[in-house]
A and B are shown apart, each in its own frame.
Chain A
Amino acid sequence: METLKNLRIALDTGQFSSEELVRQIYSQLDKGPDYNAFISLTPELALAQARAADQRIANKTQGLLTGLPIGHKDLFCTQGIRTTCASKMLENFISPYNATLVEKLAQAGMCTIGKMNMDEFAMGSFNEYSYFGPVNNPWDSKRAPGGSSGGSAAAVAGGLIPATTGTDTGGSIRQPAALCGITGLKPTYGRVSRFGMIAFASSLDCGGPLARTAEDCAMLLQEMAGFDPRDSTSIQKDVPNYLLHLDHELPKGLKIGRIPAFQNRHLSQHIQGQFDQVFRQFEHLGAEIIDIELPHLDLGLSVYYILAPAEASSNLARFDGIRYGHRVKNAKTLEELYERSRQEGFGEEVQRRIMIGSFVLSSQGYDAYYLQAQKVRRLIAEDFAKAFKQVDAIICPSAPDIAPPIGESKDDPIKAYLSDIFTLPINLAGLPSLALPCGFHQGLPLGFQIIGNAFDEKKLLQLGHQYQQVTDFHLARPKES
C-alpha cells in the first residue's frame, strides 16, 4: 500500500479512482491475511464516500484527504455503524452520532474502510485483551502488534490500508507504531477533540493518526486538529499548516535532548546500538545532542497506574446495563443488574483496572495513592518544562524491546505495563510525541519518539520528515504483505 501522499497524486492525476482504490483494498482483505486487525468492515459506506470523493475530484473541489481510505479505532463512535470498544459490553452498540474526529475526516472526503481491533476499552499493551481475539503482528504473526491501537498499527504495517486513527492514553499509538514499524503521532492534549471518543482516562486520552510516514501523519493531523465546542477540554488555538515547512532543513542550532540514565535503565541491552544510531543521524542533520536528566520519569509508571485506573473506574461507571450496552437477563434487583451486567460485559483486565481505580479513590486509598499520584504528576510535568528550557525536543525509545510473542505477558500484567515505560510520562505531562521506526532486531521493528513542548506538533513532524529523508526504515515491508 502506497503512502497517502502518493495516493493523493495518483487520484489527482487520474491513475485510478477512489472507488477503484477502495474496491482494491476490500479485494486484498478478501484474499490475503488480515491479521485480525478489523472488528467491522464498512464497504457500503466506504464505496458511497469514494463515489462522492470521485465527484469532488472531477469537479476539482477536492481537499488534501478527499478519496483516501482510513480505518477508525473501534472506540471512535460512528453513526449507524457499531462501535464495540472491543468489548462484549458494547458488542451490539450502534452509536447515534459520529465522533468529531470521524466527522471531520468524513467531511474532508476520506473513505471509512472499517473499524480497527484494539485492547478492550483501550486497556492493554499488546492487543491481547480484545473480545474479538488478538491481533497478529505482520512482521511475525506469532507476535503481538503492541497496543492498545494494535489493529490500527498492524493494518498499516501489513499494507492493508494506508492510514488509521488511534488513541494514546499511555502510549497506545506510539508503542504499537514502534512494534509494527510505522509512524504514529500523539498530539498535545486537547489538540484533537475527544467528543465521541469513548473515554478511558479523560485527563490523558488523545486521538491521533497512524500511517507510514511523518508526512502522512501531518496530512491527517491537518484535518483532525482544532477546537470543538462539544469537548470542554479542547483547546481554542489556531491550527498551523503542518505541511508548510516539512521540507525545510532543521533550524540552525536545534538542540535535541537525550535522557541517557532513564533510557539505559529500561531499554533492552541488545538494542541500545540502534538508538545510538538515531542520535548520530540527527547530528548529521545538524542538531546538537544534549544529555539531560528528568529525575521523576521513573515514577511515571506508578503514577499512571493510579491515575488512569481511577479515571477509568469513574468513566466506566456509565456502563450499568440499563441505558445501552450488555444487560444481563433475569436480574431480580437493580444492584444485581449492575453487578452481573458489568461482570459479564467487561473482560478481565478492564475489571482489574476498575477495581484498582475504585480502591485508589476510596477512603483508604485517596490520600496515599490518588492525591500523591497527582502531586508526582506535577513533578513529572515540571521535569519536562525545565528540560524544554534547555532543548527544543527530546528523543527516547518508544518501547523497551521488540514485539513479544502473543500471550507472553498475559499472566504477568506488570510486565505488560512496563512496556509503556517510555511513553506514559508524556501523557502525564500532556505533551505531543511523534513515534518513528528506526531499525530492526531479529527481523522485528524498533521505534523511537520525538517529544515536543505543548503544541509543537509542527516541529516534530518536520524533524520526523527530515529523518525519514535520510533513512529508509519506514519503507521496509514485512515479507507476507
Chain B
Amino acid sequence: MNSMSADLNQDRILHIAKLSRLQLDPEKIPLYEKRFSDILKLIQKISALDTQKIKPMKHPFETPGFLREDEISETPQKEVYLKLSAHSDEDFFIVPKVIEEQG
C-alpha cells in the first residue's frame, strides 16, 4: 500500500483542504501535518489484515431502504427556506457571479 504518512507534505495537505472546500491558514499547515501523520498511523493498523474474501459492510442492517408511496404529503415552503439564507431574494439564493463575461 502507498503509505500516506511517508510522503505527507504541504502540497498534499493543501490538496486535501481543497477537496474539503476549506481555506487553510498557511501557518497551521505544519500542525496539520503532525496531526494527520498521527491519525494515519492509527488508521493504518487495519491495512495488514487480509480481507480479500470479505464483503464491505456499508450499513448495520442491509435491508433495502424504505420507499413510500408516491403521494403528495406536504407542500413546499419556498419562502420559509429562502429566509434561512444570508442572501436571497424572492425566488433565488444569491451567490457571487459564476459565469465570466468573454472579453
Binding site for B on A (CB under 8 A): 93-94, 96, 189-190, 203, 229, 232-236, 299, 301-303, 305-306, 313, 317, 320-324, 327, 331-340, 342-343, 346, 351-352, 354-360, 362, 364-365, 368-369, 371-379, 381, 413-414, 417, 429-430, 454
Inter-chain contacts of B16 with A (CB < 8 A) = 355, 358-359, 362
- Given A337-B96, A374-B58, CB of A355 within 8 Å of CB of B85: no
CB proximity of B2 to chain A, nearest CB, Å:
7
Q: In B85-101, which residues have CB < 8 Å from any A CB?
A: 85-87, 93, 95-96, 98
A252 to chain B, nearest CB (A): 31
B55-92 interface code vs A (CB 8 A; 1 in, 0 out): 11111110001111000000001001100111100000
> What are the residues of chain B within 8 A of A235 when measuring CB–CB?
61
Interchain CB contact under 8 A, A372 and B19: no
A contact residues around B59 at 8 Å (CB): 203, 233, 430
Q: Tell me which residues from 1 to 53 in chain B have a Cβ below 8 Å from any Cβ of chain A.
A: 1-2, 4, 16-17, 19-25, 32, 35-36, 38-39, 42-47, 49, 51
A356 — which chain B residues lie within 8 A by C-beta? 36, 39
Task: Known contacts A305-B43, A334-B95, A368-B1; decide if A376 and B68 are in contact (CB<8 Å).
Answer: no
Which residues from chain B contact A303 at a C-beta distance below 8 Å? 46
Question: Nearest Cβ in chain A — how far from B100, in angstroms?
Answer: 10
Q: Is the CB of A413 within 8 A of B85?
A: no
Closest to B53 in A: A375
> Could you list 20 examples of A-B contacts with CB < 8 Å?
A232-B66, A232-B67, A303-B46, A306-B43, A320-B21, A323-B81, A334-B98, A339-B21, A343-B22, A355-B36, A358-B19, A358-B20, A360-B43, A374-B56, A376-B54, A377-B56, A378-B54, A378-B55, A414-B42, A454-B60
Specify which of B1, B23, B98 is in contact with A343 (CB 8 Å cutoff): B23
Name the A residues within 8 Å of B32 (CB-CB): 352, 355
Question: Would you call the interface of chain A mostly helix, strand, loop, or mixed?
Answer: helix
User: Across the interface, do B61 and A381 meet the contact criterion of CB distance under 8 Å?
Assistant: no
Q: Name the distance in Å between A453's Cβ and chain B's nearest Cβ.
A: 12
Binding site for A on B (CB under 8 A): 1-2, 4, 16-17, 19-25, 32, 35-36, 38-39, 42-47, 49, 51, 54-61, 65-68, 77, 80-81, 84-87, 93, 95-96, 98
Could you tell me the distance in whole angstroms from the C-beta of A187 to the nearest C-beta in chain B?
A: 12
What's the Cα separation between A471 and B6 when bound, in Å?
A: 52
Bound complex: CA A381 to CA B65 (Å): 20
Residue in B19, B22, B43, B81 whose beta carbon sits within 8 Å of that of A342 in the complex = B22
Inside 8 A of B4's CB, which chain A residues have their CB?
359, 364-365
Contact present for A190 and B19 (CB under 8 Å):
no
Question: Is there an interface contact between B96 and A334, defined as CB atoms closer than 8 Å?
Answer: yes
Which 5 residue pairs of A and B lie closest in terms of their CB atoms, listed nearest first?
Answer: A430-B60, A374-B56, A378-B57, A327-B86, A375-B51
CB of B93 within 8 A of CB of A323, answer yes
CA gap between A35 and B27 in the complex, in Å: 34
**Cβ–Cβ contact A351 & B22, under 8 A:** yes
CB neighbours of B35 from chain A (8 A): 352, 413
Name the CB-closest residue of B to A204. Answer: B60
Cross-chain contact A322 with B93 (CB below 8 angstroms): yes
Known contacts A302-B42, A414-B38, A203 near B58 by CB under 8 Å: yes
Asked if A96 contacts B80 (CB within 8 A), the reply is yes
- Once A364-B4, A369-B43 are accepted as A-B contacts, the answer to whether A354 and B61 lie under 8 Å apart by CB is no
Q: Decide: A236 and B1 in contact? CB cutoff 8 A.
A: no
| Closest Cβ neighbor of A376 among chain B residues | B46
Is there an interface contact between A378 and B56, defined as CB atoms closer than 8 Å?
Answer: yes
Report how far A365 CA is from B42 CA in the complex, Å: 14
Name the contact of A414 in the complex, choosing from B39, B44, B55, B66 (C-beta under 8 A).
B39
Given contacts A302-B44, A338-B21, list 15 more A-B pairs with CB under 8 A: A96-B81, A189-B60, A203-B58, A236-B66, A320-B21, A327-B87, A342-B22, A343-B24, A346-B22, A357-B20, A372-B51, A378-B54, A378-B56, A413-B38, A430-B60
Tell me how far the C-beta of A379 lies from the nearest C-beta in chain B, rounded to whole angstroms.
6
Q: Is the CB of B20 within 8 A of A313?
A: yes
Complex Cα gap A379–B54 (Å): 8
Residue of B nearest to A378 (CB): B57
Q: Are A381 and B57 in contact (CB under 8 A)?
A: yes
Docked pose: A357 CA to B57 CA in angstroms:
17
Q: CA separation between A381 and B60, bound complex, in Å?
A: 8
Q: Which residues of A contact B60 (CB under 8 A)?
A: 189-190, 203, 381, 429-430, 454
Taking a contact as CB atoms under 8 Å apart, the answer to whether A305 and B42 are in contact is: yes
Closest Cβ of chain A: how far from B62's Cβ, in Å?
10
CA distance A331 to B86 in the complex (A): 13
Partner of B23, one of A229, A339, A414: A339
CB contacts (< 8 Å) of B56 on chain A: these are 371, 374-375, 377-378
Q: Which residue of B lies closest to A300 (CB)?
A: B46
Q: Residue of A at shortest CB range from B21?
A: A338
